[in-house]
Each structure stands twice: as C-alpha cells, then as structure tokens.
Amino acid sequence: MTDLLRRHSPDLFNLCFHGIGTPKRELEADEEQYWVEVDQFEEMLGLIRRYAFIHITFDDGNASDLTCALPALLRHGLTASFFVVAGRIDTPGSLTSDGVRALVRSGMRVGAHGLAHRPWRSLDDNGLEAEMHATRTIADVAGVPIREAACPFGSYDRRVLRALRHHGFRLVYTVDGGHAKRGAWLQPRYTIRRDDTPTDIERLACPPRSAAFTSTVRVGKTLIKRLR
C-alpha cells in the first residue's frame, strides 16, 4: 500500500468478526458465512497491526472469542471490543462468565449485543426495553460498566437509537460498512466474511480518492436509517 493511500486513510475503519475456527454450537441460518479459519484470522491480524486506525470488534460472544481470538490478539499486540449476547452467556459454544471476565482482564472491551440476538427494529417497545436491560446482566458478569452496544443484524431506526441514547450508551456500532469518524456516537463497521482476505481489508480500509462517491452514497443510506 502506497504512502499516498495511507495519507488519505479515514479516522477509523471498524471490522466486525463473528466466529473463528469450528463452531461449538448450532449456527443460525446463513451464519456460517461469517466464520473464518484460524490461519485466515492470523493472516488478517498481520495486516491489521500495520494500521492503527483499524478497530477490531466481535459480535455474538462465541466461545472462539476466548479460545482463538484472544490469544491471537495478544500475540499481535492488538485489542478489540467484544459484544456479548446476554442470554447466551454460559451456554454451550458461547462465552462463559469466566471467559467474559478473562477478556476484561486482558485489556479487551466488552459491550452489549442484546438479550437474545433479535433484530431490534422488529421488536415492540417492551421487547426493545428487555434487550436494553440485558446490559445489566453483562455488566454484572464482566464486573465493569457497559457503555457500548452493537445492533444485532445491524437492525436499527430512529426509535432504536433513541432507546440506546436513553440507556446511556457512549458508542453504538452498526454493520453499515464504510469508514467512521473518531469520536462519533454511531460507528459503522465492515462485516468480515469467510471469503475475505487481508488484501480485501487493506483495499477497503485505504481507499483511493476515486472511492469518494461510493462513500457519499453509503452515508446517505445511513442517514435514511437514522430518520425512518
């Protein structure tokens, strides 16, 4: 990657991983496309460590967060944010309570991914409130305040964002793709899929000037989601 592309890199480029290696639970429909191999993950970290503006996140609280992701992150001197589904803690294939605390002790951030991995936009007010309150469970397990959330399935609208603000979340992550401004409350992420390579990540993280139009279109789509 040339110095020119490095100079035009954005403030932040957020990545969203899900699972690494072999799943230890029954996956949801089409979920397997978001799992990457152990060697593939290692290669990606080798690229990511070169760019301080790339931020790593994990959704769903899979057991591989502890067994695969954490050791690899530590070897590469990287940190990440892990968004946990409260209702899956201590269930087969997911993080245990001790595992959540181990992430915190290792310098990782832990955030909320709801109660039952449901698309928040589809829920009624009572259901949405239950998802927000699941943060208390995660905080009790982690032993630290939970101030960040990731919307399951990237599902949000104005009502969901209003609820997240009401419950005091400092940062909210989506899967809208594209780049993020450092310090912005709403943080888009690029979702890693099983066929992605380090080259793909570098190309997306350090786009040439000609990609400006695509970025503008993506910002417009995000604005529509926030207003609907």
Q: Are 66 and 93 in contact (CB under 8 A)?
A: no
Q: pTM of whole model > 0.75? A: yes
Compute, in degrees rounded to 10, the torsion defined by CA atoms 42, 46, 47, 51. Answer: 130
Residues 156-213: tens digit of each pLDDT: 999 999 999 999 999 999 999 999 999 999 999 999 999 999 999 999 999 886 454 4
Please give the average per-residue pLDDT across 209-220, as a whole number: 50
Per-residue pLDDT at 132 exceeds 50: yes
* Domain extent at residue 17: 3-227
> Which amino acid is present at 25?
R
Supply the pLDDT for residue 183: 93
Supply the pLDDT for residue 3: 40
- Separation of CA 79 from chain center: 13
Per-residue pLDDT at 45 exceeds 70: yes
Q: For the chain, how many residues are written? A: 228
* Helical H segments across the chain, by residue range: 3-7, 38-48, 64, 70-75, 97-105, 125-142, 158-166, 198-205, 212-227
Q: How many structural domains comprise the chain?
A: 1
Supply the pLDDT for residue 208: 82
Domain of residue 72, CATH code: 3.20.20.370
The span from the CA of 31 to the CA of 124, in Å, is 25
Degrees, nearest 5: CA angle 46-52-58: 70
Please give the average per-residue pLDDT across 48-70, as a whole number: 98
